[in-house]
Structure 1
Amino acid sequence: MRATLRWAHSDLRTHRGEALFLGLATAGIVLSLLLATALFGYATNPWQRVFEQTRGAHVWLHTARSAKVGKLAGLDGVESVAGPYATEATTVTSHGTRAAVELRATPQHVSAGRPLLVSGRWLDPANPDGVVLESHLAHALLAEPGDTLTLLGTARTLTVLGVAESDEPRYDPDEQPGLVWAPPTAVHSPNGQVIGLRLTNPDDTDYAVQRAVTVLGAGAIGEVATWQQARAEAQGDNRLLGQVLGLFGLGALIAAGLAVHGAITTRIRGHLRDISILKAIGFTPGQVVRVFLLQHIAYALLGAVTAATLTRALGSRLPGRLGDAIGLWQGLPSHAVALAAIPAAAVLFIAATTALAAWRAGRVPPVPMPLPSVRGGGTAPQPGGRLSAPARRALGMRVPPALVLGWHVAFARRARSLTAVARLALPLLLIVVAMSAWTTISRFHSEPGRIGLPAALTVHADAGLDDREIRALLARDPQVAAAYPGVEVAALVPGQTATIALRGFGTRRDPYPYALAEGRPPRGSDEAVAGQGLLDLLDVRVGDWVRMTVGNQPQILHIVGRSIETENAGRVISTSLDTLHENDPQLTGTLYQVRLRPGADPDQAARRLTAAGDGRLDVHTVTNPADGLSPLRGVAVGVIAVLALIGLVELLTAIGGTVREGERDLLALKAIGLSPRQITAVTITATGCTTLAAALTGTALGAPLAHWLINAQGRSSGIGAGIAQGPPPALLLLFGTAAVLGATALSALPAARAARRRLADTLSAVA
């Protein structure tokens, strides 16, 4: 054991850089996987916690006041009901901000579906005008307990008693009104009611909705909200961040395992004589295997422990969403298990790849095999084997011999060359995927119109303004390029199991600029475009006809295109306002989608339009989903750094192997008249050729793989394929050039040292 430790210590002193890089790479990989686990927990558990603590309903049905919802309590599979509660749709203002809300008449004592208070207190009968706000609505209104809300168009005011979290869909200024829980006496003009159904089997949600629609009638139900929709919306971008981190973490782990395997294999080939000496002095094959295995397990273990320690000690102090995610994750019961299991799994994977390479060291014979002194009829050995016909022709055409021999050394042994190229290409491929993710997010910010967000503002007007006055107000702003009247309503899908968003934007004379990934825009009567989420929900394709109902009024539309929809999980179908009005005269424009001129600031434009309207215009900026993906840029930078470390380890391995294998060719190269500078150029050229082949392979495979992965994520989220954007060709060219130049620069020093070795050292190496 003492001899084993001394040999391992000596080897560590000789290869300090390799050990450092392997440890750092392992730390980065384990850190990525731990962050991915934390983000998955952060995405799921906050909503799940609220749902369980509030005993939330699996289905919320918004119905007409006349609907006899009491029958729903007796349906099979319904465990309990929340409500029914009378509702009033209105608009409130606070601190100069307005929001569409749903006043919900809620008793003081609620058995099921009661919100979870985060500040203030619950409803009090002694305060008939006291209300509780949903947390996202309170954030939008900048409202806190004690503040006063004003109902737009009236002299009525409400006092905020508390702020609460709910398991229902959260407030969205463009899609979802905010929830305001109020005493029944505060709901003066109810225009609907809502009831929640808690089911014995949550998987039967669709069936329960169908039964409810059958009992009440399709015309009685205005909107259906299920627990799956609320959970998916609450998870939002955090789950995507976790998936990206997990994907890159696993990819980096595979790349690191291959890098370790290649490093050990190359070192074994370069230390055959040392291994033979170890066996000659009494080392068993098992001891030799353990030397290599324990060394690299120690490197991996050190990196994994470092990552786990950093995550435990500093993770919650990270800024933004990552810090919040780790702080929440550390409070979960599964945290301790994951904190130990993930590093252990990473170390075991690296140990498995190490064991396969170390096993070869145990098979080295105790007597070193003499290297052949001649090749091919007693002539001097040639680097890498016999020159190929193209190489000989290149020499005959006076191509510099260093270039010809370097290319020959890089690709003479096909199996070994292809393995080296593949190992180096994997981290480069993953870097190209990370660059593509960065470019796609940047495109969301710079060109929102191409990913389904042509409008920057949404404008709602008071009832006293007609279309001509509103258009005149908008046209007077110098930064407004166009305004499209529209309406958005909830519609029941065929089968009556869920509601979707039915939109009518623009007119046939002034069509709305949809971002299409497939098909064509709607031009004629009854033509529409749909998001990927709706196509998946209804199991239809472009070219099909779909039927939906708004109240009792059917809408039959022909899907002529697939639009990129970033909202409502892609469960959106859009047509012109003219088409909706023709099918249902009651559907008229209630809002305006405003497109700004290039370079205009949406926030400044919203403030100007609000001031110009003298309080008669409610202006909101359209939320860009890329705002929630901003942390992904930092993730991409960290991933690229980890992959660069792994690539550097693989590159150092390739350089070391080329230098060691070139030692026995040194005499032959000097015998044919090559100078030390030319011999150095042979090694540099071989390294450059290997890196160039890896860069070309990584780029050629990484670009289409990135498109496929990003579009697959788009399809699964409902946005749809067509959002992927690859890095500019100039950036890919710069990336490949930097990789090749960096590799050649890194190989220059060891190649120069090997070329200037004394002849006696060279003879001992090949003896």
Structure 2
Amino acid sequence: MSALSRVVRSGVGRRRVQTVVIGLVVMIAVSASVLGSTLLVASNAPFDRAFAQQNGAHLTAYFDLTKTTSDQLTASAQATGVAAATGPFRTASIHPVDDKDQPISPLTVVGRTAPDGAAVDAVTLTEGRWATGPGELVVVNDGRFPPHERAVGTVWRLSDLPGSPTLTIVGEARSISATADGWVVPEQIAALATSKADGGYQMLYRFAAADTAAQVDAGRVAVEAALPAGALTASRSWLTTREDGSGDTALFVPFLIAFGVLGLIMAVLIVGNVIAGAVSTGTRRIGILKALGFTPSQVVRAYLGQALIPALTGAVLGVILGNAIAIPVLTLTNDIYGTSDSGVAPWVDAGLLAAVLALVTATAWVAASRAGRLRTVDALAVGRTPKAGRGQWAARLTARIPLPRPVTLGMAHPFARPVRSAAIVAAIAFGAAAVTFSFGLAASLAEVQATASHGDVVIGTGRPTQGTPGGDPVKADREPSRPVVTPRSAQDTAAIVKAITTQAGTSGYCGVAQSEVTVAGFAGALQILGATGNSCSSGYRMASGSWFGKPGEIVVATPFLTATQTRVGDTVVLTDHGTQIAVRIVGEAFNDDHDGMQILTAAKTLATAEPELFYINVEHGTDPEAYAEALEPEIQQFDAYAMTENIGTPEIVLIINALTTVLSLMLATVAALGVLNMVVLETRERVHDLGIHKALGMAPRQTIAMVIASVSVAGLAGGAIGTPAGVLLQRTIVTEMGRGAGYHLPASILDVFGPVELVLFGLGGIVIAVLGALLPAGWAARTRTATALRTE
């Protein structure tokens, strides 16, 4: 073994604590970098990647089975411009009910023998198995049904078909092309049709050119020309699906990018600081090696080796740990994006490993070469203690603070190494910012979720149902569970209002009449809600303007303003049942019902003003369920019922909260390890001073207090910097998430921090610093006085 190898080996083994710290910091930093880079890659064009992974359909086409045949549809794959085609598949529309006879939204089901293997639209099975026989159903996994309603093993009954047949859910699957609501075996379709002409055929096409709407239209025209006239009944372009899908995923891209960048920056900061500190503490030893005949080149190589060995070990372990963490995180992002990424891209692992080792090499080389250029006598004279006089002004200043002397001594220590301390402040600031951002994002999402509820109790008629059928042949409305709405007479309305207002515990109510109107200059009908009562603004958050106060005033959301090119204060003309009504936009509210195109107004604005739903707010301390049970006997005679409005937390919100928690803990841990490394270096550098303090009577508790006080300043500064940075990051990211979804967010969703929370998060920097300093503080307290004094 060469002399150089022995120096490297002894250096790694002799400084075990420092070696372990370097390995741990690099490991956590690399793990955070792998996860951060994976999130950055996952957020890059997610719909396009999912579409490519599943060979998505450029055109989903539906045909009348009475006007074409299966053979003719198969032959349409040879039409001009068609690159690949799958089908034909028989389709049917079903109207199931659950085990409590509660209606489920109508579904378009397709007969298909297998999920994958198709040239077009390789459906991804996400849970359970594929249907293999009659009576089995695979449902789409896109958030349409609550988890308990789509669970594998759930039985749905088709009460509108002869014999009331049942379908058992055996699996969940995802189609990036949104080609169906569910799938059954082909032989099942005939039993689901209510008549011989019911349902139709579905064909899925990929075109050689489909980047623009004109190219997709050209392909559709070529397919239609190859079939009998009138055979094509409906079609959907992949560009429409892409716009819908990209609108949903755009909400999460800024969030993922923010955490990815935070992880990468902290990795560079901590790794650089750790390696630079490790090499700088060996300056005196470098002088000894030079005195023994080592050349400057050999000294640099020796310290490169001592830094690279634990760094390489930590980096490899970090890649392994990062991949282990990233795989379940990728499962979550797959749920968000509809992708099927199964692991971290190999180039991410290789690139990060090379980048971290290059960073360690560069940092260690700079530090070691600086010491290597020192003359032997200078290197021996430098030792490990900061230069005399450095930071003395801070020691004199802190001595005036009315605190125990060990505490004031510790508070002055960071000023002796300002560059190193600044790096630790930055690391703590990043950790504090990550935790603050995580809390703020969760609070903002909770505020967004709160806007979905407009009362504690809701009154409807008939039975509650899961949404209502949408106009799209393959995509039904995905709103939460709402009551059926049935028009009622003015007398019934007055009696229900009387029952509500006289019921004990009522705080306020809002009656809602639903209708459809057209807007001058905008194609298509829009839903409008006519409200009456004293709590109709409950649940709505105003982004600008004010709530309507009289007939002729409307409140809309940002997508309406964008689509109609209007703004608050403008007047628009509505057509309600043939009657034109000029209304003024008085407010912009955050309202994502009907993709933000819903209009809110006073009931007297509409021609049909009788409310069909009632949302009730109960007084504080009143149990909504008990209230609903007490009210129901009073309204049953009007074919009405009362239920609590329970809007569950969407899976997407749970996924984001889980991701923020994991990433925040990782970044805070990296910051704490950076503090631990700094305190280890400081303690070793000042071990002789520590022996003097102990000889003068400093007790172990005072030693611990001094060490912890030495990081308190950095912790306080880091928290003071990181907390407002986290608030700014939260506001920026949440605003971008809203903008990506097409909304201006109200202040209540952005301003989620109060003075108390800000102070607590500001003190969080001290918590991170203290946690990182506890271990070396205990080591310093246990150091024997004689041992410390013998150390030069």
CA–CA distance in structure 2, aligned partners of residues 694 and 326 of structure 1: 34
Q: Compare 418-427 and 256-265 and name the one that shifted more.
A: 418-427
2:580 and 2:204 mapped to 1: Cα distance?
Answer: 26
Structure 1 residues 679, 197: CA separation in 2 closer, same or farther (over 3 Å shift)?
closer
Alignment of 1:284 with 2:298, yes or no, is yes
| Distance across 1 between alignment mates of 2:252 and 2:570 | 34
Match of 2:213 among 199, 204, 208: 204
User: What's the Cα RMSD here?
Assistant: 5.9
Question: What does residue 531 of structure 1 align with?
Answer: 557
The C-alpha deviation readout for 1:79-103, integer Å capped at 9, x for no partner, is 9999xxxx99997644311245488
Distance of 1:328 and 1:594 partners within structure 2: 38
Deviations 1:194-213 (A, max 9, x none): 9999996454389989xx9x
8 Å contact from structure 1 (residues 516, 563) kept in 2: yes
Distance 2:726 2:591 in 1: 26
Say if 2:98 is the partner of 1:98: no
Q: How does 1:442-457 map to 2 (within 5 A)?
A: 442-443=446-447, 448-449=450-451, 453-454=454-455, 457=458
Structure 2 counterpart of 1:506: 531
What's the offset of the Cα at 1:299? 3.4
Which of the numbers 387, 407, 410 marks the counterpart of 1:406?
410
Q: Specify the SS of the correspondent of 1:521.
A: coil
TM-score (norm 1): 0.70
1:351 partner amino acid: L
Residue 738 of structure 1: aligned partner: 767
Structure 2: state its 5+ residue gaps: 64-79, 112-117, 182-188, 222-233, 459-480
Residue 294 of structure 2 is aligned to residue 294 of structure 1: no
What's the counterpart of residue 348 of structure 2?
342
**Alpha carbons of 1:478 and 1:402: their partners in 2 closer, same or farther (altered >3 Å)?**
same
Between 1:140-149 and 1:686-695, the stretch displaced more is 140-149
Aligned equivalent of 2:424: 420
Q: Does structure 1 residue 486 correspond to structure 2 residue 499?
A: no
Secondary structure of 1:507's counterpart equals strand
DSSP-derived class of the 2:393 partner: coil
Structure 1 distance, partners of 2:277, 2:521, is 63
Please say if 1:564 is aligned against 2:590: yes
CA distance in 2, matches of 1:539, 1:755: 77
Distance change (3 Å), C-alpha of 1:105 and 1:387: closer
SS of the equivalent of 2:681 reads helix
Shift of 1:444: 5.4
Q: Which amino acid aligns with 1:643?
A: L
TM-score by length of 2: 0.68
How far did 1:417 drift? 3.4
Separation of aligned partners in 2, 1:350 and 1:405? 36
Residue 532 of structure 2 aligns to a residue whose secondary structure is coil
C-alpha displacement at 1:528, in angstroms?
A: 2.3
Counterpart CA distance in 2 for 1:205 and 1:608 is: 60
Q: Give the Å deviation of 1:121.
A: 8.9
Partner of 1:18: 21
Which residue, 530, 551, 568 being the options, matches 1:542? 568
Matched, 1:519 2:572: no
1:693 to 707, 717, 725: 717
For residues 337-367 of structure 1, the C-alpha deviation after alignment (integer angstroms, 9 at most, x for no partner) is x431222233233234323321221221361
1:256-655 alignment, distance < 5 Å: 256-279=267-290, 280-282=293-295, 283-284=297-298, 287-288=301-302, 290-292=304-306, 294-295=308-309, 297-307=311-321, 310=324, 315=327, 322=332, 338-359=344-365, 360-364=367-371, 365=374, 367-369=376-378, 384-387=390-393, 392=396, 395=399, 400-411=404-415, 414-443=418-447, 448-449=450-451, 453-454=454-455, 457=458, 460-461=483-484, 463=486, 465-466=488-489, 468-469=491-492, 475=499, 482-487=509-514, 489=516, 494=521, 496=523, 501-507=526-532, 511-513=536-538, 514-538=540-564, 540-546=566-572, 557-579=583-605, 581-582=606-607, 591-593=613-615, 595=617, 623-624=647-648, 626-655=650-679
Would you say the 8 A contact 1:105–1:187 is kept in 2?
Answer: no
Task: Call closer, same or farther: CA 1:114–1:358 in 2, change over 3 Å.
Answer: closer
Deviation sequence 1:282-309 (CA, Å, 0-9, x none):
4536524632552354134323432366
> CA 1:372 to 1:56, structure 2 compared with 1: closer, same or farther past 3 Å?
same
- Asked if 1:703 corresponds to 2:727, the answer is yes
For the structure 1 residues 180 and 737, does the alpha-carbon distance in structure 2 shift closer, same or farther, using more than 3 Å as the test?
farther
Distance 1:578 1:43 in 2: 46
Alpha-carbon distance in structure 1 between the residues aligned to 2:16 and 2:493: 77
Alpha-carbon offset, residue 655 of structure 1:
0.8
1:590 deviation in Å? 5.3
Q: Structure 1 residues 620, 556: closer, same or farther in 2, change over 3 A?
A: farther
Counting aligned pairs with the same residue, the percent is 17
Q: Secondary structure at the match of 2:555?
A: strand
1:203-253 residue CA offsets vs partner (Å, 9 max, x unmatched): 4389989xx9xxxxxxxxxx9987566456667877756764553243123
721, 733, 740: which one aligns with 1:716: 740
Quote how far apart the aligned CAs of 1:563 are.
Answer: 1.3
Describe how 1:59-70 pairs up with structure 2 within 5 A: none
Deviation at 1:520, TM superposition (A): 0.8
Q: CA deviation at 1:506?
A: 1.1
Change (3 A) 1:308 1:251: closer
Secondary structure of 2:591's counterpart equals coil
Contact 2:9–2:306 (Cα < 8 Å) also in 1: no
Map of 1:217 onto structure 2: none
2:282 paired with 1:253: no
What does residue 65 of structure 1 align with?
none
- 2: CA distance between counterparts of 1:345 and 1:161? 50
Q: Does 1:6 align with 2:33?
A: no
How many residue pairs get matched? 690
For the Cα contact (< 8 Å) 1:54–1:112, is it kept in 2? no
| Residue deviations 1:48-98 (CA, integer Å, cap 9, x gap) | 3798555544999xxxxxxxxxxxxxxxx999999xxxx999976443112
Tell me if 1:149 matches 2:158.
yes
Which of 747, 756, 762 lines up with 2:785 in the alignment?
756
DSSP 3-state at the match of 2:569: coil
Contact 1:483/1:592, CA 8 A, preserved across alignment: yes
Contact residue 274 and residue 677 of structure 2 kept, 8 A? yes
Q: Per the alignment, in what secondary structure is the counterpart of residue 529 of structure 2? A: strand
Offset of residue 261 of structure 1: 0.6
Q: Distance in 1 between matches of 2:179 and 2:610?
A: 26
| Cα-to-partner distance string for 1:393-433 (whole Å, 9 max, x where unaligned) | 66468765444443333235544433331232212221221
CA contact (8 A) 1:34 1:311 kept: no
Q: Which moved more, 1:502-511 or 1:699-708?
A: 502-511
Instruction: Sort the Cα spacing of 1:260 and 1:144 in 2 relative to 1 into closer, same or farther, 3 A.
Output: closer
Offset at residue 262 of structure 1 (A)? 0.6
* 3-state SS in 2 of match to 1:264: helix
Task: Return the alpha-carbon distance in structure 1 between the equivalents of residues 396 and 719 of structure 2.
Answer: 27
